[in-house]
Structure formats: structure tokens, C-alpha cells
Amino acid sequence: MLFIYYSLSGNGDVVAEAMKEKGYEIRKIETVKKMPESMFSRIMQGGFKASVGYKDKLKDYDKSLDGHDEVVVGAPIWAGKLASPLNTVLRDIDFSGKKLTFILYAGSGEGPKAERYVKKLYPEAKVIMLKEPKVFTSELEKIVL
């Protein structure tokens, strides 16, 4: 059981802690280039990258799913889509034959849009939406796998 995820501001890390307790192996992906520090620049740059489906260059990570029947992908929502570093993961890893779940964490809006986006890419996947789990820790109870 594997949880592979990205987190820019810590919500994904809170989810990772919960997944670790459930017995999942944790794999965090990181971009080679750092995101800007200011929220405004982050939203501008990240929002743009996510909307155009940009694939960030990632630091080396293990792309093998050997030994994992079940894979959970953790992604922040950026501009109603997956955070752009996830586009690279989805290009690099073939999830076919795996029990696949997406845990999406978002600020507020665009949740349904992001869910439709994922369902289009992976019709068989289960999608769980969480609202800012770092702030609202009770959201973690929605993780039923």
C-alpha cells in the first residue's frame, strides 16, 4: 500500500501522517525548482502551470509500484486541477491494474471540477476531497479506503 503525494504548504503532509498510521508506505515528491515564497506569486505561477497541464521537473523519486496492489495519490487542487507536479507523476507512472484512489486537498471551491478532471483521466479511481486538512483535522475522517 503506497501513498504518493505532493504538498506545498503542509496539508498533504498531514494527510501523509494519517496514511502512515494506516500502514501505507509514504512517498513525497518534490520539484527541482522551488515555488515562489509569496502567496500571490504562488497562485499566479502555480495556477497557470496547473491550468496548462505543465509538468514540473521533479527530484529523483522511486517510480516503481512493485509490491503495491493499492496506490493512493495525494494532490493539492490548483486552479480546479491537480497541482502541476502531479502531472509529471501521472506521466511517469502507469497505475493500470492497481486499486487507485485520489485524495485531493483544496481551499474551498473548484472541488467538483477537480473531481471531474480526475474521473475523466481515471474512471475507475475513487476520489476523496478534503478541505484544508491542516486546519480542519476532522476532514481526515473522510479517508475511508
DSSP letters along the chain, please? -EEEE--SSSHHHHHHHHHHHTT-EEEE--BSSPPPSSHHHHHHHHHHHHHHT----B-------TT-SEEEEEEEEETTEE-HHHHHHHHH---TTSEEEEEEEESSS-HHHHHHHHHHH-TT-EEEEEE-TTT-GGGGGG---
Q: Does 76 bind ligand FMN (CB under 6 A)?
A: yes
Q: In the range 115-144, which residues lie near ligand FMN by CB under 6 A?
A: 132
Give least dist CB 121 to ligand FMN, A: 17
Contact range with ligand FMN by CB under 6 A, out of 21-29, 85-93, 106-114, 118-126:
106-114
Which of 41, 107, 124, 136 touches ligand FMN (CB under 6 A)? Answer: 107
Give least dist CB 69 to ligand FMN, A: 26
Contact range with ligand FMN by CB under 6 A, out of 63-71, 75-83, 94-102, 121-129:
75-83
Q: Does 12 bind ligand FMN (CB under 6 A)?
A: yes
Other residues' Cβ atoms within 10 Å of the Cβ of residue 70: 14
Q: Which residues of this protein are in contact with ligand FMN, per CB under 6 A?
A: 7-12, 42-43, 46-47, 76-80, 105-110, 132
